[in-house]
Chain A
Amino acid sequence: MLSARGVVAGYARGPAVLDGVDVSVPRGSVRGLAGPSGCGKSTLARVLALLQRPWSGTVELDGREIRGARYSVPREARTSVGIVFQQPRPAVDPRMTLCEIVSEPLRVRGVRQLRSGVEELAEVTGLDAELLGRMPHEVSDGQLQRACLARALAPRPRYLICDEMTGMLDASTTAALVRVVIDRVTEEGLGVLAISHDESLLRAWAGNDVIRW
């Protein structure tokens, strides 16, 4: 279980964006979170992905509290939670090829057979292997988002946060990427928090397990 307990979080000196939020993500299922723009969904995504330290409250990963004076989360915990953002373009280094983007977490994980690892992930996410040598500006948003999903799945995370993962994508690519994630849920017990403003989409993802903000 990945949980936020009484999380209060915000930015700089502004008001708190999250004020005492409790949300938990069990393994092996998809939980949806729906809400309008500006309600703090993405801030919660960042907190749960251990990218942002809450002002108060805690994040618990499989029963262990994540803490640290400078929020230096151990690598094992960081690679346990993956995240895919709405916009793929700002989420990648424009100077790296798609292959390098996807292989970076594999290298961190100590995988030796990088090329075959990347090709396997590309196949899982439906990314055409011919595109792996391209730079981000040479592929479409949908193709780049497939690479971002492959990158997020590369460290074999136990949890995945999908923050409006399909917000920029057409209907067919949306359905394809959701299917990739759901396969991981049933096959590997991945725990998913799917965040979107689109409730009908979330119901297709998560059935009735949708939290409304």
Chain B
Amino acid sequence: MQQSPLLWLDDMSVRFELGQSRGSEPVYAVTDARLRLFPGQVLALVGESGCGKSVLASALLGLLPANAWSRGRALLSSGTDEDVELLAAPESVLARGVRGRRVGLVPQSAATHLTPVRTARAQLSEAFRELRGRVDRAEVDALARRVGLDPHDLDHYPHELSGGMAQRVAVASALVADPPVVIADEPTTGLDRPLVERVTDLLGELADRERGVLLITHDLDAAARVATHVAVMYASRVVESGPAAEVFGEPWHPYTKRLLAALPEGGFQPVPGHPPALTELTELEREWGCVFCLRCPETPGVAPCNGEPELVEHGRRSVAAHPPC
């Protein structure tokens, strides 16, 4: 039986208006994203820095700044709760019904997200009080153990914790209400390999318990370790998605191939050129047909593409393809 997705994104776009001082071109942070997150999946959203991954996460949680606007659909549907259209929902619904309760967030650089003047226990207890209505010390300790922390570690202030311990406190905070969806935004940046493995394994355990995890990362090794599915983002667009083993094993999009070739074990060849500025995407598409052409090995920067790429679906995979260049 096919389960229904926990999170259902259709033609989701996010733009930032920079105002007149910087010219009138908006920043195209996310363009027509189409993703599904099912229970039991770890969906890794990968790509170079600045391609729009984190903005997508912020948009889902209603955490975009005031100069942003979004379009399209992002439906959260889990269990018996009412479906919520995340992009259209008012802040009161997101704050009381979604964040923490139905979607947990593991933030980037956890150490800076914790209040420096209170102990980890005080902060975790606050989350219990808010989300579960009461604080039971034994439950707090049990959650700490589940994420690999000694309960005594909780009695420390954030500056007394290592980066990896602070990261686990953040994971624990995201799990207080046992939300069906967990969004982890670069949870492994700056951690060393054993800690990366612990954090990613924790996310894998959540998926084993039929939760859905959206893992946003530029660390392809971490993604390969835990992801069941992967979506590759380039210049605000999802250019390829599918089961992780298939996408990593046989990438279809030239950008995915280039990204894998940049890994030490893939040949250590940087993707030539730079990602385009997100303010120049419309011009780039007008001139070149697709946003990747300038860096595409098949069109070495001499001839424009002869067609706008369209998302081609084949079985469980999809790829942004255009008529052969």
A interface list, Cβ under 8 A from B: 36-38, 86-87, 126, 128, 140-142, 167-176, 178-179, 197-201, 203-204
Alpha-carbon distance between A199 and B194 when the two chains are bound, in angstroms: 12
Alpha-carbon distance between A178 and B258 when the two chains are bound, in angstroms: 17
B interface list, Cβ under 8 A from A: 47-50, 162-164, 189-195, 218, 220, 258-259, 262-265, 268-271, 274
Contact of A200 among B190, B195, B265, B269 (CB under 8 A): B265
Contacting residues, chain B, for A171 (C-beta < 8 A): 48, 218, 220, 259, 262-263
**A172 x B48 contact (CB < 8 A):** yes
Alpha-carbon distance between A176 and B264 when the two chains are bound, in angstroms: 11
Contacting residues, chain B, for A204 (C-beta < 8 A): 264, 268
Contact of B190 among A36, A38, A167, A176 (CB under 8 A): A167
**A168 x B190 contact (CB < 8 A):** yes
Alpha-carbon distance between A140 and B218 when the two chains are bound, in angstroms: 13
Q: How far is the CB of B219 from chain A (nearest CB, A)?
A: 8
* Nearest A residue (CB) for B275: A172
Alpha-carbon distance between A207 and B293 when the two chains are bound, in angstroms: 34
**A172 x B192 contact (CB < 8 A):** no
| Most chain B CB within a 10 A radius of its CB, from A126, A171, A200 | A171
Contact of A203 among B164, B193, B264 (CB under 8 A): B264
**B270 x A172 contact (CB < 8 A):** yes
Known: A37-B162, A140-B50, A170-B218. A175 touches B268 (CB 8 A): yes
Known: A37-B162, A140-B50, A142-B49. A172 touches B189 (CB 8 A): no
Contacting residues, chain B, for A174 (C-beta < 8 A): 262, 270
Q: How far is the CB of A165 from chain B (nearest CB, A)?
A: 13
Contact of B268 among A87, A169, A170, A178 (CB under 8 A): A178
Q: How far is the CB of B264 from chain A (nearest CB, A)?
A: 4
Alpha-carbon distance between A197 and B163 when the two chains are bound, in angstroms: 14
Contacting residues, chain B, for A176 (C-beta < 8 A): 270
